[in-house]
């Protein structure tokens, strides 16, 4: 099923695309494939598939032949948000050009927030935020989703799980649990990093990291350095970047090695500010982290953006100590950069903003569109804006995006 055309502000879609990787982005239940030309920093819309419900997250198989997406009609946000009644994990075959063809699906117990495949390609791991949970399914030799692995001991899944990843040696798995900020009627829920030994699909408790018992600690996402023993954690609720050492046994250092603020202007914090996902550059010398805000205020009878940072933070990584140093923040040209991807050649970064929002333009109001913002990556790791493709999100938010290597 092909999606309707996108408004591209007078720019046409390029016809050439690299055969080495493809970019995917979702709007509601629709997942669209884009070809990418890293040299010209252009995207080419190709085709789309329809999921049973709104796409939540997706992950490729290490063989590059299969692709997995989780979807749900539950609403984000937790608390009183609608829980939904349709929660599905879907498998796809990946064509030579990145086109996806259905390859079976399974029902899930609640809204999934993240999924990944272990390094061996034998297991599909899924994290659920409310109630906080993990499931593990075997993957069949043909890439289809197989049986659920019953856990001998129910794993400690903390509060508001947000990501599940296996470590580079595949011996352990780390569940990132964000917790929740306090509200007028509810005290703060603490966050934590839950580390499990991982063998034959079994998750066995190994370590729980929760500085200050998890209060004031709200991790959202992590990524691994490609060659050095460092793990980088984005703290959504504190707008921070933490660096931990990855020990030889797959555990993390008891304390972070470095703790940094991700904002360009941390002295003027706006309501609703949060750090988002992060990715280490393929060469390991740089790290990229999204800052997000969508708070609104009243202006002449309309809800408009209330201020805050929607940008990409660029960090240089010391190759001896692992220390990240903030070297740039660059405007995201959209609201809520929930996901982004760095291409395997390290030339491009593509960020996806969730939805449009009205913004003040002097005494008037303008619409800031949702879209795909494309940046070139320089040899020094810094980003240069290339172009933005507007995306119609009238049928759902642009909730996930990512790049997949192709055969």
The region, left, alpha or beta by phi > 0 then psi within -120 to 50, assigned to residue 104 is: left
Say how many Å lie between the first and final Cα of the chain, rounded: 24
Please give the pLDDT value at position 81.
Answer: 83
**Cis omega before residue 346 (within 30°)?**
no
pLDDT of residue 18: 42
Q: What are 65-111's pLDDT values in tens digits?
A: 999 999 999 998 777 788 999 999 999 999 999 999 999 999 999 99
Domain ranges in the chain are: 51-217, 223-391
Topology of domain 223-391, CATH: Methylamine Dehydrogenase; Chain H (2.130.10)
pLDDT of residue 20: 83
How confident is the model over 122-172, as pLDDT tens digits? 999 999 999 999 999 999 999 999 999 999 999 999 999 999 999 999 999
| CATH class entry, domain 51-217 | mainly beta
Decide if 51-217 and 223-391 have a common fold.
yes
The CA distances from residue 115 to 124, 133, 279, 323, 400, in Å, are 7, 12, 16, 28, 12
Question: Which residues have a Cβ under 8 Å from the Cβ of 33 and sit 6 or more positions away?
Answer: 22, 23, 24, 45, 46, 47, 48, 98, 99, 100
> b/e string for 89-121 if b means 16 or more Cβ within 10 A?
bbbbbbeeebebeebebbebebbbbbbbbbbeb
Q: Is 302 exposed, middle or buried (0-12, 13-18, 19+ CB in 10 A)?
A: exposed
Q: Which residues does the chain have with pLDDT short of 70?
A: 1-19
Give the per-residue pLDDT at 40. 96
Read out DSSP for 189-225? BPPEEEEEEEETTEEEEEEEE-GGGGTT--EEEEEE-
The SS3 call for residue 295 is coil
- The answer to whether residues 71 and 31 touch, using CB atoms and an 8 Å cutoff, is no
Torsion of CA 24, 26, 30, 33, to 10 degrees: -10
Query: Which string of DSSP letters, residue by residue, matches 317-348?
Result: E-TTT--EEEEEEEE-SSS-EEEEEE-TTSSE
Q: Tokens at residue 112, please?
A: 């999934």
Give the list of residues 6+ apart from residue 370 with CB closer than 8 angstroms, or none: 334, 335, 353, 354, 355, 356, 390, 391, 392, 393, 397, 398
Residues 6+ apart with CB under 8 A from 84: 53, 72, 73, 74, 75, 111
CA 147 to chain centre: 26
Instruction: State residue 13's pLDDT score.
Output: 29
């Amino acid at each position: 099923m092909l999606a309707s055309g996108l408004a591209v502000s007078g720019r046409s879609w390029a016809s050439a695309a690299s055969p080495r990787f493809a970019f995917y982005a979702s709007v509601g239940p629709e997942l669209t494939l884009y070809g990418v030309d890293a040299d010209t920093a252009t995207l080419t819309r190709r085709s789309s598939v329809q999921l049973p419900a709104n796409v939540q997250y997706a992950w490729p198989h290490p063989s590059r032949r299969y692709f997995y997406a989780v979807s749900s009609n539950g609403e984000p946000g937790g608390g009183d948000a609608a829980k939904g009644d349709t929660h599905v994990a879907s498998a796809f075959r990946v064509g030579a050009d990145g086109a996806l063809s259905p390859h079976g699906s399974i029902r899930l117990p609640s809204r999934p927030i993240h999924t990944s495949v272990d390094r061996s390609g034998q297991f599909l791991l899924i994290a659920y935020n409310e109630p906080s949970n993990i499931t593990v399914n075997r993957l069949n030799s043909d890439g289809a989703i197989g049986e659920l692995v019953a856990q001998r001991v129910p794993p400690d899944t903390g509060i508001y799980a947000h990501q599940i990843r296996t470590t580079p040696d595949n011996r352990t798995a780390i569940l990132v649990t964000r917790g929740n900020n306090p509200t007028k009627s509810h005290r703060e829920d603490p966050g934590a990093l839950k580390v499990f030994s991982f063998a034959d699909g079994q998750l066995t408790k190994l370590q729980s990291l929760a500085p200050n018992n998890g209060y004031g600690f709200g991790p959202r996402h992590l990524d691994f350095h490609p060659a050095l023993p460092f793990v980088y954690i984005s703290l959504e609720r504190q707008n921070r970047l933490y660096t931990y050492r990855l020990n030889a046994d797959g555990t993390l250092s008891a304390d972070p090695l470095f703790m940094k603020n991700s904002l360009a202007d941390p002295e003027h914090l706006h309501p609703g500010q949060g750090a988002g996902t992060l990715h280490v550059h393929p060469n390991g010398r740089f790290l990229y982290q999204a800052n997000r805000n969508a708070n609104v205020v009243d202006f002449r009878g309309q809800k408009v953006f209330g201020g805050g940072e929607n940008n990409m933070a660029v960090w240089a990584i010391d190759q001896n100590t692992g220390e990240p140093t903030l070297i740039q923040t660059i405007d995201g040209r959209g609201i809520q950069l929930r996901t982004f991807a760095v291409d395997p050649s390290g030339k491009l970064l593509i960020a996806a903003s969730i939805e449009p929002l009205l913004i003040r333009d002097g005494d008037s109001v303008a619409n800031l569109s949702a879209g795909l913002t494309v940046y070139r990556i320089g040899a020094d790791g810094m980003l240069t804006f290339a172009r933005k493709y507007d995306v119609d999100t009238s049928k759902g938010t642009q909730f996930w995006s990512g790049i997949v290597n192709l055969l």
